[in-house]
Amino acid sequence: MRVGIVQLCSTDDLEANLTHAENGVREAAARGAEFVALPENFAFMRREGARFPFAEAPAAGSPEIDPGTTEPESEAGITRALSRWARRDRLWLLGGSFPEAIPGDEKVYNTSVLFSPEGAEVARYRKIHLFDVSLGPDGADEYRESTFFAPGERVVVASTPFGGVGMSICYDLRFPELYRALVDGGARWLTVPSAFARETGKDHWEVLLRARAIESQAFVIAPAQCGHHSRDRASHGRSMIIDPWGLVRAQAGDDPCVLVAECREEAVDRVRGAIPALAHRRLS
């Protein structure tokens, strides 16, 4: 299967972001991609400390939303756009992440959604681990996602014709127990849409991604944000596609771009058969 990644430098301009994302999906499709992934916050990159001017309406039948609740009308139509692109280009499309409204709550979920080539929503994952850290030599560079986001609670593995897709977002990458749960749930592909900070990205990004691929013996698809989004916010870039042996099959640089790589599904079985580490586990 040919896998595509769209690396973006999103801002707080929703319309422009959607245009750039759509163009990237089109390019990946033209290059033969059957599965395309967008990065975290692809539709809207909030300035640090700013609130969201909108949030996408929750999905009908969402397991974390009361089914009796009246859904607010979506202001952005992000999921409608994703569905349309997937259907138009006949591909699997991961909408990296976007803010999803929580009825009756000022906070939002950071949500990743997978669409089928028919444009149907197949799976929805809400980021579990929130990035509350203090970076820089004096800890002055603070990130407090919990101020604006609520954590998700469900581990999500999407069922597809090419195997289970285990979903995660950015900071989740630092919690290997999540990926063990995804593999136990049948994941053969791991998606990690991200907006890694430059300070952590330069030392940790590739190391963590390759570690998750090696220990999970699964493909890792990691589309990332890059460049300066605003005066006070920048991302590391370096999107990657990594195989189950831990080899980097495609890697972006520091600028917006599209990557496409051939990922042979049988590689998962070959690696798991050669080194059956998952079957050899003694601790739970």
Enumerate the active-site residues. Answer: 40, 127, 170
**In 90-218, alpha helices (H):** 176-184, 198-200, 206-216
Pairing of strands 157-158, 219-222: unpaired
Among 117, 203, 193, 192, residue whose Cα is nearest residue 161: 117
DSSP state of 203: I
**How many CB atoms are located within 10 Å of the residue 116 CB?**
19
Among 143, 48, 46, 22, residue whose Cα is nearest residue 98: 46
Residue 93 pairs in a beta bridge with 36, 115
- Euclidean distance between CA atoms 28 and 20, whole angstroms: 12
Residue 95 dihedral angles phi and psi, to the nearest 5°? -80, 95
Q: Could you tell me the two tokens for 44?
A: 């809207």
SS3 of the chain: helix, strand, coil, percent, to 5 = 25, 30, 45
